[in-house]
Amino acid sequence: MTWDTFIWFALFSAVCWLCAGGLAFQPKKAAAVNALMLAGLLGMGVFIAGFWVELGRPPLRTMGETRLWYGFFLAAAGYATYRRWKYPWLLLFPSLIACVFVGINLVRPEIHSASLMPALQSVYFIPHVTVYILSYAILGVATAAALIRLAGGGRKNSAALYAVMDNSVYIGFGFLLLGMLSGALWAKDAWGHYWSWDPKETWAFITAVAYLLYIHLRLRYKDGTFALWLLPAAFVLLLIAWIGVSYLPAAQGSTHIYS
Amino acid sequence: MVKNGRPLWQAPWQFRESALVCCGIAAAGFALQAVIGPFDFFFLHWPGNLFILALLCIGIALGACYGKTSFSRWLSSLPLALCLIGALLFFSLIMGFTPQAGGAGPGDARLLARLGLTRVTSAWPFILLYAFTLVSLGMTIVRRFFNFSLRDYVFYLNHIGLWVVLAAAGLGAADVQRLVMHVREGETEWRVYGQGGAVLELPLAVTLKDFAMEEYPPKLAVINMQTGRPQPEGKPLFLPISASGPEALRGRLGVWEVSLESYIHEAIKKGEDYVPSPMPVSTPAALVKARNTLSGEIKRGWVCSGGSVPEFFSGLSLDGTLLLVMTRPEPRRYLSDIVVLTQDGDKIEHRLEVNKPLRVGFWNLYQYSYDSKAGKASAYSSIELVYDPWLYPVYAGVAIMLAGGVCLVWAGAGAGRARS
């Protein structure tokens, strides 16, 4: 199996995942959702396995190859989380992002072979980035729920809205923690120390502490608007950690910037 | 919220008192910083840190067991936890917005430096609040054990893991040593330059048998001979050469259709030709054919970036101004074949690579650098040596927290409900 046959597997898996993500919003379609998700995962899995055999090495060397794994793991982790929590958006979000990765590989084949610098060649690369992407998507949902409440929405059913906020913060924070810890283990192998207060690390820490504050605040102060405001604020910090760090004057020495 | 009518400082302490205490600790820290300068990690060197750790554990245990007072309750209370998390957020935000690890700078940076905020992690307010967090977090965990319930498993995993990580990483920080050793090929080294240029002798010796560098197959591009800029300007095109064979490359750079006749990954220049030769200075070269799709004109010739030898360079002139060239290959792997000799007489052979360090006791050895001017032909390799005797306790904490993270994803907000 090569990149030439990829298009058939990619289209199959993408269509399966997108249909599953859409059907998840329909009650009583659980069997179809399960079948579609698993079929999509199987398709992508077969391609990765065949590609691996064809190459005679794990397909982890180029950017295009690592994107295959992102797509696969995002769909898999999103599906597992959906099975646990039954929120339809928890399936649709990761499915969409997985399809974006698959799509990049289809639409811009010239960057398949963009080479991966030595510092990025690690077993931690895929899990580290995948759990962070998942975490950001889930915390984005928490932010949306908080904004709906702040705008005066969901007044009749505020308990349900708060449940979505709390649940998604806990789950998103769990993934955030996994991303941070896998990053620390990777940093020990790549840079010599597990935590160096590199600007990217500092901002990842800031983001985590902000959500930690929300979690502890909600244990006692159930009806405070402060907690509601904390979620969009924490998401701004998250965006700085994710995208903004490259532009901060305080972060120009970061070893985390790959251009 | 705070009960109305309860005077300040009357038990049970709530949010107001917690916030005031945290501010007081920070203020005391700033005062210390102003008077005696930054915290001296010298006090935390082995075995001092072990002594402090023992003291901390005994203090927490005694406080939790014998202190049924409202004070010890407050130490493990939620309002205090909230204030400490808030304080941590405040100081980490300062770290995020202020360039760190600087001395006194010009203008207003001088005030920040005086307050220790250009090096927050060794500033007294941060250190004191960190220590107070260890006490409060420790008390919270021990107190929770008195009402042990398996339903609190997420609480235990995350809080114990965090406490172990914070204690081991914080107290162990002073024992960490990071040194860089430069070893020439075929030679053995056991000395490094420490801080201030002093020569240190290490308990292990490193022999560099060989340093090598693997490179990715490069790309082809068309440049303007006058400006040297890749074309088309602003959105240059690059044609990657695949390692799997010449037939893998057939593509277009603008109006030119390019095909590869032969590719040599490790070539040297011999006369006008390139021949395969696995030498340190060898570099990729390709025989290419370019066809102008408008005029049908065909050009054929060798292209080579030259690598570390400028004389090896070769481009294919397409017309008066355009030149088909090969980009410099990007590094794929840096490899140092080393032999490490320990004081016990152990001999360890290892191939050091980025992301693949060698662990010898409490030391970790890393591929750090090389002679970048010589590239593949570098005659030496720089190896970073990191000593961290507290790594295993930190990893134990990390493992517990990893389990905690998985459980958080599984339990969701139920993890919080079990606690309250």
Per-residue pLDDT tens for A137-184?
899 889 988 988 888 877 777 888 888 899 999 999 999 999 999 999
Q: Is the peptide bond before B47 cis (omega within 30 degrees of 0)?
A: yes
pLDDT at B135 over 90: yes
**Min Cα–Cα distance to chain A from B97, Å:** 6
Identify whether residues A241 and A143 lie together within a single domain.
yes
Band of residue A19 on the pLDDT scale cut at 50, 70, 90: very high
Q: B interface mutation test: which of A90, A110, A238 has the most B CBs within 10 A? A: A110
CA-CA distance, A171 to B408, in Å (whole number)? 6
Instruction: For residue A252, list chain B residues with Cβ-Cβ distance below 8 A.
Output: 99
Q: B interface mutation test: which of A123, A175, A220 has the most B CBs within 10 A? A: A220
DSSP state of B296: -
Share of chain B above pLDDT 70, in %: 94
Residue of A nearest to B1 (CA): A221
Identify whether residues A102 and A163 lie together within a single domain.
no
Identify whether residues A206 and A257 lie together within a single domain.
yes
Q: Which of A116, A148, A176 is the last residue of a domain?
A: A116
CB contact under 8 A, A192 and B420: no
Candidates B82, B401, B419; nearest CB to A217: B82
Amino acid B186 reads G
Range of the domain at A182: 120-259
- Cα A193 versus chain centre, distance: 25
Candidates B99, B386, B413; nearest CB to A167: B413
Q: Does this model's pTM top 0.90?
A: no
Identify whether residues A41 and A83 lie together within a single domain.
yes
CA-CA distance, B21 to B398, in Å (whole number)? 30
Query: What are the sequence ranges of the domains in chain B?
Result: 15-148, 177-213+332-387, 217-329
Between chain A and chain B, the number of residue pairs with CB atoms below 8 A apart is 140
pLDDT for B284 equals 93
Given CB atoms, is B419 within the 8 Å cutoff of chain A?
A: yes
CA-CA distance, A116 to A123, in Å (whole number)? 13
Q: Which of A86, A116, A146 is the last residue of a domain?
A: A116
DSSP for B93-110 reads HHHHHS--S----STTHH
Instruction: Give the model confidence (pLDDT) of A241-254 as tens digits.
Output: 988 887 887 777 67
* CA dihedral angle for residue B350, residue B353, residue B355, residue B358, rounded to 10 degrees: 20
Band of residue B247 on the pLDDT scale cut at 50, 70, 90: low
Instruction: Give the model confidence (pLDDT) of B224-237 as tens digits.
Output: 988 888 888 877 88
pLDDT at A256 over 80: no
The token pair that represents B360 in the structure block:
């010898």
Identify whether residues A12 and A52 lie together within a single domain.
yes
pLDDT for A114 equals 64
**Min Cα–Cα distance to chain B from A203, Å:** 6
For residue A240, give the CATH number of its domain.
1.20.120
Instruction: Give the model confidence (pLDDT) of A84-122 as tens digits.
Output: 888 888 889 889 989 998 998 888 765 556 677 888 888
Given CB atoms, is A240 within the 8 Å cutoff of chain B?
A: yes
Identify whether residues A250 and A168 lie together within a single domain.
yes
Share of chain B above pLDDT 90, in %: 53
| DSSP bridge partners of B304 | B285, B314
pLDDT for B105 equals 47
CA-CA distance, B169 to A197, in Å (whole number)? 13
pLDDT at B345 over 60: yes
Band of residue B279 on the pLDDT scale cut at 50, 70, 90: confident
* CA dihedral angle for residue A18, residue A21, residue A25, residue A31, rounded to 10 degrees: 100
pLDDT at B21 over 90: yes
Identify whether residues A202 and A179 lie together within a single domain.
yes
CB contact under 8 A, A240 and B96: yes
CB contact under 8 A, B356 and A217: no
pLDDT for A111 equals 58
Query: Burial code of A128-159, b = ≥16 C-beta within 10 A, e = fewer?
Result: bbbbbbbbbbbbbbbbbbbebbeeeeeeeeee
Count of domains forming chain A = 2
Residue A111 neighbours by CB under 8 Å, 6+ apart:
A63, A64, A104
By mean pLDDT, which of B42-51, B192-201, B256-265 is the weakest? B192-201
The token pair that represents B32 in the structure block:
């210390």
pLDDT at A50 over 70: yes
pLDDT at B66 over 80: no
Band of residue B141 on the pLDDT scale cut at 50, 70, 90: very high
Band of residue A126 on the pLDDT scale cut at 50, 70, 90: confident
Average pLDDT over residues B238-259: 73
Identify whether residues A61 and A16 lie together within a single domain.
yes
Identify whether residues A106 and A18 lie together within a single domain.
yes
pLDDT for A99 equals 93
| Cβ contact B164:B390 at 8 Å | no
CA-CA distance, B328 to A248, in Å (whole number)? 31
Identify whether residues A19 and A68 lie together within a single domain.
yes
Identify whether residues A187 and A247 lie together within a single domain.
yes
Instruction: Give the model confidence (pLDDT) of B71-128 as tens digits.
Output: 888 999 999 999 999 999 999 999 999 888 754 444 555 677 878 888 898 899 999 9
Band of residue B2 on the pLDDT scale cut at 50, 70, 90: very low
pLDDT at B246 over 60: no
pLDDT at A133 over 50: yes
Identify whether residues A216 and A155 lie together within a single domain.
yes
Residue A35 neighbours by CB under 8 Å, 6+ apart:
none
Q: Which of A116, A142, A171 is the last residue of a domain?
A: A116
